[in-house]
Amino acid sequence: MRDAFHEDLDTITDQLVEMTHLAGSAMARATTALLDADVHLAESVIAADEELDEMRENLDALSIDLLARQQPVATDLRIVVTSMRMSSDLERMGDLARHIAKVARLRYPEKAVPASLTSHILEMGQVAERIVTKAGSVIASKDTETAISLEKDDDAMDELHRQLFAALLSDRATFTAETVVDLTLLGRYYERFADHAVSVARRVVYLVTGQFAAGVELDHEEEEEASGETVLRPGAASA
């Protein structure tokens, strides 16, 4: 039989997994709302984000209560602290899905994404869904193999982000400034969503193995892509 402390930890784990489901669902629906210019769906994503915020608050309250009551040390203490960080990542992922839904709502009845980029954004949405689903599996199973495959999905997201910039900056592109602004922000939202999922997976791996792979950072952000550095070099526009 599990003791009270480990039962509470199980509850925390279950809630973190549930947060990945909510974040994944929000992202899937936000992408659909964006590409279909479905304002009702967008509204529902925006409204539903509150649930994720509340889960995070409750989870943090439970964690602090657990620290106060059980006074964990060593690994147990690290698990609780890390869980609070994971809930922060997941809550932020919900925010990013909501940002995407807000772009959809803003441009309604028009579509924010031009037809030539629809399949590209759809693919970013699919990678985002896949990566958050895997993050949930990693939390539940502590499976480091899945955690590693998630890094590959993140590489795919970074590549899609690069290609999006290249498309926006192509000499043949005739996008309006409004579209360039929207797509620049959307690209960043999808990429940051994936970054936070990577952070979640890495935190789990760190708890399990006590270490990271070489060159891997805890708070993940693909810096080069963040400022578009690998794409936005002078001359890239003519690529």
- Per CB under 8 A, residues contacting its own copies are 64, 67-68, 71, 73-74, 77-78, 81, 84-85, 88, 91-92, 95, 98-99, 102-103, 105-107, 110, 165, 168-169, 173, 175-178, 180-182, 184-185, 188, 219, 221, 223, 226-229, 232-234, 237
Nearest distance, CB of residue 6 and its own copies, angstroms: 18
Measured from the CB atom, the residue of 150 and 165 that comes closer to its own copies is 165
Other beta carbons less than 10 A from residue 178's beta carbon: 11
Contact 16, 90 (CB under 8 A): yes
Q: How far apart are CA 145 and CA 142, in angstroms?
A: 9
Calculate the alpha carbon distances from 106 to 34, 78, 93, 178, 213 in Å. Answer: 10, 42, 20, 12, 42
Measured from the CB atom, the residue of 98 and 130 that comes closer to its own copies is 98
* Torsional sign, CA 127, 129, 132, 136: negative
Measured from the CB atom, the residue of 67 and 156 that comes closer to its own copies is 67
Measured from the CB atom, the residue of 120 and 149 that comes closer to its own copies is 120
Q: Quick one: which of 77, 203, 204, 212 has its CA closest to 142?
A: 204
Measured from the CB atom, the residue of 146 and 197 that comes closer to its own copies is 197
Nearest distance, CB of residue 168 and its own copies, angstroms: 6
Element (H, E) at 72: none
Q: How far apart are CA 193 and CA 237, in angstroms?
A: 26
Nearest distance, CB of residue 145 and its own copies, angstroms: 27
Nearest distance, CB of residue 5 and its own copies, angstroms: 14
**Structure-token match 């509850």, residue found:** 11
Nearest distance, CB of residue 46 and its own copies, angstroms: 9
Structure tokens of 210? 């006590």
